Each structure stands twice: as C-alpha cells, then as structure tokens.
Structure 1
Amino acid sequence: MDITSFLFPKNEVTFIKSTATMREALDQMEHHSYTALPIINDNGKYVGTMSEGDLLWKLKNTPGMNFDNMHQVPISEIKNRFHNESVSIHAHMEDMLALAADQNFVPVVDEEGLFIGIIRRKDIIAYYIRNITD
C-alpha cells in the first residue's frame, strides 16, 4: 500500500513557522485542541515538532517566565524533548508504521525535504479497523 493514501495535505494541517513565538504556538495548540504541531521553516522544510510538554518545561525552567511574557520567546529557543521523525512521500508503509507507533502523527516531506503534510496515527488505526476480517 502507498502511504499517500493516508496523507493529510499541508493545506489542511495546522503548523507553526520556525519564527513563531512560544505564545503563538500555545495559542494554536489551544485553538485546535492539539498537543503538538509540526514546525516549518521559511523555506517550507519540516524542522521539528513542538509539543505541549516542550512549552511546559520551558515555562517551568525559565526564571521569570509567565503567560504575559511568552510572546517574547521564539520557539527556536525551546528545546524539543523528542524528535518526531519525518518520512519521504516515497517511504515504504513499514517505515511509516514504525514511526506512527511512537508519534501521534508522522510528518511527510518530498524529495527536497519540503513539508507536504502529515499522516495521522488515528487514520491508520481507523483504516486497519475497517479492513480487519476474521
């Protein structure tokens, strides 16, 4: 099976730019009820994933940090505790499944590393539930 059948395209994905602030990331997560967002640089390449945990640890471990000054902190200054791997649009299904086991979503990139969308773990599970036969 081709992984493109699971692709949730970039134009339908909520992501943040690598130039965003901590407050912008938090606001996007709250607005969409997400726990993590892909980070895309100015060239359109996937550079990582920002999670609620990353934001929380930054808030906890930065003296003087609070909700009122989060807009001053660029997300580039926030350490990502986990690295969500991306897959090529040409990856084998097994490669994508191995990543989906540990990530809520798998970022998908083209040959040049440009972000083209995500594959959501919930869509993979739903597919297999629909197609399991006894």
Structure 2
Amino acid sequence: MNIAGLLLPKSIVAYLYDDFTLRQALEKMRYHGYTHLPVITRDNRYYGTISEGDLLWYFMDAGTIDLAKCQETRIRDALTLKHYPPVPIDMNIPEVVDLLVSYNFLPVVDDRDSFVGIVTRNKILKKLSDANHGDKKVTTTISYGNPSLFTPNI
C-alpha cells in the first residue's frame, strides 16, 4: 500500500512560500500552532522546512529581534532550511515509516516534483494501528528476561 491514501493535501496544509517574510512565517506558525512548516517556491517546488528554532537562531545570530527587519527579510534570504526529504506520492508505507522515525511529517511530491501535501507520523501510526487491530495482531504482553519477575505473588 502506498501513501496516497494518507496524504494531507496541499489545500488543507499550512505552508509558506520562500518569498514570505520572517514575520509572516512567525505569524503563520503561531496561528496554526505548529513548530515546523514546509516551505515551497512559487512554482510549487519543495524548498525546505522551517522551524521555530531556525527563527530563534537567526535572531540570536543577528543580536536582536528587529520587527522592521522581520517584515523586510525573506525566508529564502535569511535561513538555511532543514531539508525534510520529500517523498513520492506512490512510496510504500514501510519505506515512509523508516523515514518518519526521524521526522514528524514528510513533504510529498508528484511525478513532476511538485509539492502536493504532507504525510504525518500520526496518520501513518493510526493506519498501522487500525490495521493491527483489524487483524487481531495486538500484542498484549511483553516478556523481558526472567518471566518469574513479572508473576504476581499469590
């Protein structure tokens, strides 16, 4: 099974354009309550992922939080963004799970390399959990070492 059915489409995802200002980035993060947002170009290419930490380090390095400068400075001109690896929309779930160990979401691109949305760790875990419960493969006990250590005294 691939991730297409688990995609949160661009139309409902919060994202930023690389020509947005740092102030716009801060406002959008605050409004949506996210600490990371994907950044795309105006021609719909994934550019990178911005975090609150990126913005904080930028201000620390600048030595000030100058609101006028925040309104003038573009994301692409100020920050080296973290690159959450974009994944193709037809990637299989097991491959995505391996990547989501390190990221809370992954940007998804189509066969033309255009940003189409994101897939989240939570959505994948929910799908795997539902599949696990549906197949009655739920592990109810885990035994570590000596089983007598886990046996209640009667």
Structures share fold, TM-score greater than 0.5 = yes
Structure 2 unaligned blocks of 5 or more: 139-154
Task: Quote the Cα distance in structure 2 between the aligned partners of 1:94 and 1:129.
Answer: 13
The 3-state SS of whatever aligns with 2:80 is: coil
Identity percentage over the alignment?
32
Task: Find out whether 1:127 has 2:99 as its counterpart.
Answer: no
Structure 1 unaligned blocks of 5 or more: none
Residue 2 of structure 2 contacts residue 89 of structure 2 at CA under 8 Å; is this kept in 1? no
Residue 108 of structure 2 contacts residue 116 of structure 2 at CA under 8 Å; is this kept in 1? yes
RMSD between aligned residues: 1.4
Task: Quote the Cα distance in structure 1 between the aligned partners of 2:96 and 2:86.
Answer: 9
The 3-state SS of whatever aligns with 1:39 is: strand
Aligned partner of 2:18 in structure 1 is 18
Partner deviation per Cα, 1:19-78 (whole Å, 9 max, x = no partner):
001110110000000011111101011111111111111011113433453112111121
TM-score computed with the length of structure 2 as normaliser: 0.80
TM-score computed with the length of structure 1 as normaliser: 0.91
Aligned partner of 1:110 in structure 2 is 110
Aligned partner of 2:87 in structure 1 is 87
Number of positions where the alignment pairs a residue of Structure 1 with one of Structure 2: 133
The code of the aligned residue for 2:46 comes to Y
The 3-state SS of whatever aligns with 2:65 is: coil
Shift of 1:98: 1.8
